[in-house]
Chains A and B, each alone.
Chain A
Amino acid sequence: MAGGLKKLLWVLPFCVAAPAIAQGAVSDKLRSETFLIFGIIVVLTMLVTYIAAKRVRSADDYYAGSGISGMQNGWAIAGDYLSAASFLGIAGLISAWGYDGFMYSVAWLVAYISVLLLMAEPCRNIGKYTLADILAYRNDPRKARIVGVVSVLTVSTFYLARKWSAAAC
């Protein structure tokens, strides 16, 4: 039962996108609106990608080495989080569970407050690019980087394990 439910959660977002298997996932009344909004977001994403690609001239630009404004960086981070998990997944959750799914999406948003106040605040104005850079700046660089690498690998392992189990169930 739990496995089936998990599978349903993963499949649901794709039901929103694919009319052939959208039986009951989207109400008939709102079907055209659903596809319209989906299409608009896809077009906007492509447009932003195109504009950004035109501006990049060297590998240096790719790493934001030439300096980008705070506003541009904010948009980039926002775009980063509009992944399949947050965008399609949340749409599927709201479609499947209604208010409960909506509450989940709110939690996602409010969690950024803790990122802002607890993580981003101490990094403010340091002028470093990654968390490991900041730790290395304030502490023994070699040890700090080892700690950074170990924590990245630990988090990634658990993150991957969850994805594997979801894909395999």
Chain B
Amino acid sequence: MSRARYDWSAIAADPRFIDLQRRKHRFLALLMLFAVTSYFLLPVGAAYYSELFSRRVAGQINLGILFALAQFVITLAVALIYVRRANRDFDRSTEEIVRGAYQNRKAA
């Protein structure tokens, strides 16, 4: 139904669209790399650096527990960073491209 509303191949060739895709993929790859690295430090740390992880910070709480709890904060932060970037940057660029494509179609 809404399939016919836009000229998809024109959008795909739009330099703004290509630029948006590039920016988006780079951002997502970096964010993913950061999240995966920070998570895999947890099992690696627990397995190979147990002296470091078992260092007490306060009472029964050691570095290992703090690092595991920090994963919750990191996950929330990654989600918020993505939502912020998507709302402010990606959605705005997408809207521009869509509006341009719609006008082109009307003009044609």
Interface residues of A (CB under 8 A from B): 99, 102-103, 106-107, 109-110, 112-114, 116-118, 121, 124-125, 137
Shortest beta-carbon distance from A27 to chain B in Å: 14
- Residues of B within 8 Å of A109, CB to CB, are 71-72, 75
Shortest beta-carbon distance from B62 to chain A in Å: 9
The 9 A-B pairs of least Cβ separation, nearest first, read A113-B35, A110-B39, A106-B71, A117-B28, A117-B32, A106-B68, A109-B75, A113-B78, A102-B68
Which chain B residues (49-108) contact chain A, with CB distance < 8 Å? 64-65, 68, 71-72, 75, 78-79, 82, 86, 90-91, 94
List 12 interface pairs A-B (beta carbons < 8 Å), by A numbering: A99-B64, A102-B68, A103-B68, A107-B39, A110-B35, A113-B31, A113-B32, A113-B36, A114-B36, A117-B28, A117-B82, A124-B90
Answer yes or no: B20 CB below 8 A from chain A CBs: no
- Residues of A within 8 Å of B64, CB to CB, are 99
What separation, in Å, do the CA atoms of A112 and B79 have in the docked complex? 9
If A106-B72, A109-B72, A121-B28 are given as contacts, then 4 extra A-B residue pairs at C-beta distance below 8 Å, sorted by A number, are A110-B35, A113-B79, A118-B32, A137-B3
What separation, in Å, do the CA atoms of A57 and B24 have in the docked complex? 40
Chain A interface secondary structure, helix, strand, loop or mixed?
helix
- Residues of A within 8 Å of B11, CB to CB, are none
Cβ B75 vs Cβ A112 within 8 A: yes
Cβ A117 vs Cβ B46 within 8 A: no
Shortest beta-carbon distance from A14 to chain B in Å: 25
Given the known interface contacts A109-B72, A117-B82, A121-B28, the answer about A103 and B35 at a Cβ–Cβ threshold of 8 Å is no
What separation, in Å, do the CA atoms of A86 and B79 have in the docked complex? 20
Shortest beta-carbon distance from A106 to chain B in Å: 5
Cβ B65 vs Cβ A116 within 8 A: no
Least CB separation from B67: chain A residue: A106
Most buried by B among A107, A109, A117: A117
